[in-house]
Amino acid sequence: MRQEHRGGEKLFVDYTGALAITNPDTGERIPTQLFVGTWGASNYTYAEASLSQELPNWIAAHVRAFRYFGCAPRVLVPDNLKSGVTKACFYDPEINPTYADLAAHYGIVVLPAKSRKPRYKAIVENGVLVAKRWILAVLRHRTFFSLAELNAAIRELLESLNTRPMRKLKKSRREVFEETDRPAALGLPERPYEFAEWKKVRVNIDYHIEVDHHYYSVPFRLIREQLDVCMTAATVEAFFRGERVAVHARSHVRHKPTTLAEHMPAEHRRYAEWTPSRMLEWAGKTGPSTAKLAGDILASKTFPEQGYRAVLGLLRLGRTYGADRLEAACARALRFGSASYRYVHSILARGLEAQAEPEAEASQAALPFHENIRGGDYYQ
């Protein structure tokens, strides 16, 4: 049965084997694949070579084809290759998520051809045959050293193919396209589609997901949940049950986290605010001796977290004993070279910050300090 195609409706797309390019350094022959897109009503054709039929090449070929046509079809009819159709089924096919995203960007419906039924995709089969005859056959004796060089030659012959009058219609493919397909086709959006890859991930116990060896935060309530992740060259977006729950600028730093404060539980958010400068700023509000002691504590710890806890404990002493007493106790501790939370706490608990210092105590300032040595004040 002869199929009738309305103008601007269907674009049939497929791949076929193409010419090889030659590595200029090694002489290695690298095979290529020819992407072919043919309009149903006009047979207007687009073709380009790529190194594979993998998803990035498949998507990029569509974007360049739409740019070449200056419009988009209402329906895409691909063959059932994996880059376009995840699970082939004539009644309810499962479309590759990235391919579906491309179609949604341009407002297109994807309607895969029926598997192993050539009559359902006769247009593209004929387009592939024409491309082989009028493009690949002409170039078969030439040597190309890059994909760009090969595609430049293909584009030149493609223009010749589309402007050559067809035998029956006495018009070229381009003329028929301008009369039938373009007026009824979809206009192109302001921005072309940006390649996006989708994958499913599980949220780790630390409310981060791993994407290409980098870790991105999501709301902590989603721990252990499965998310859909959309990755472009610039962004990483996470979706839970169709709702976008996180978006990050993409990072290629391996094994490092990107964390947003709003994704943290409250206790982690407070912890994230702890920085050496913030700690010293807080301590400086009590007085210079408190700030100096806090700086000494931070400098003495191997891990910053150890120092943060000690300084927070020091500052909380001000709530219990008052800022003036804390400042005096810190000044006394500094004179004795005892930069520790426990030493200051001991001074305040026994009210020693206001006591005059005996000469014997003053002489201890020259002794080396260790927090396990309690000093004479401990036994008073």
Checking if the pLDDT of 28 tops 60, the result is yes
Number of H helices, E strands in the chain: 14, 14
Checking if the pLDDT of 268 tops 80, the result is no
On the 0-12 / 13-18 / 19+ scale of CB atoms within 10 A, 171 is middle
Q: How far is CA 312 from the centre of its chain?
A: 37
| CA pair distance 347, 376, nearest whole angstrom | 11
The arithmetic mean of pLDDT across residues 358-379, rounded, is 55
**Per-residue pLDDT reduced to its tens digit, 311-340:** 888 888 988 899 999 999 999 999 888 888
Q: Average pLDDT over the chain, rounded to whole?
A: 85
Classified as helix, coil or strand, 45 is strand
The arithmetic mean of pLDDT across residues 293-313, rounded, is 81
The arithmetic mean of pLDDT across residues 51-65, rounded, is 93
| CA pair distance 12, 22, nearest whole angstrom | 30
Q: Residue 79: its pLDDT value, please?
A: 83
Q: Where are the domains of the chain?
A: 10-184, 197-270, 274-379
Checking if the pLDDT of 363 tops 50, the result is no
For domain 10-184, give the fold.
Nucleotidyltransferase; domain 5 (3.30.420)
Q: Residue 83: its pLDDT value, please?
A: 81
Neighbours of 210 (CB within 10 A): 15
Classified as helix, coil or strand, 97 is helix
Structure tokens at 171: 């018009």
E strand intervals along 82-179: 85-87, 94-95, 109-110
Checking if the pLDDT of 188 tops 50, the result is yes
Per residue in 172-209, is it b (16+ CB within 10 Å) or e — as a string? bbbbbbeebbbeebeebeeebbebbbbeebebeeebbb
**Per-residue pLDDT reduced to its tens digit, 82-91:** 787 877 665 6
The amino acid occupying position 324 is D
SS (H, E, C) 228-267: EEEECCCEEEEEECCEEEEEEECCCCCCCEECCHHHCCHH
* CB 339 within 8 Å of CB 300: yes
Q: Residue 80: its pLDDT value, please?
A: 77
Measure Cα distances from 339 to 81, 152, 227, 315, 378 in Å. 69, 73, 48, 14, 15
**pLDDT band at 362; cut points 50, 70, 90:** very low
More confident residue, 109 or 360: 109
| CA pair distance 232, 199, nearest whole angstrom | 12
pTM above 0.75, yes or no: no
| CA pair distance 35, 50, nearest whole angstrom | 7
| CA pair distance 84, 152, nearest whole angstrom | 26
Q: Residue 245: its pLDDT value, please?
A: 96
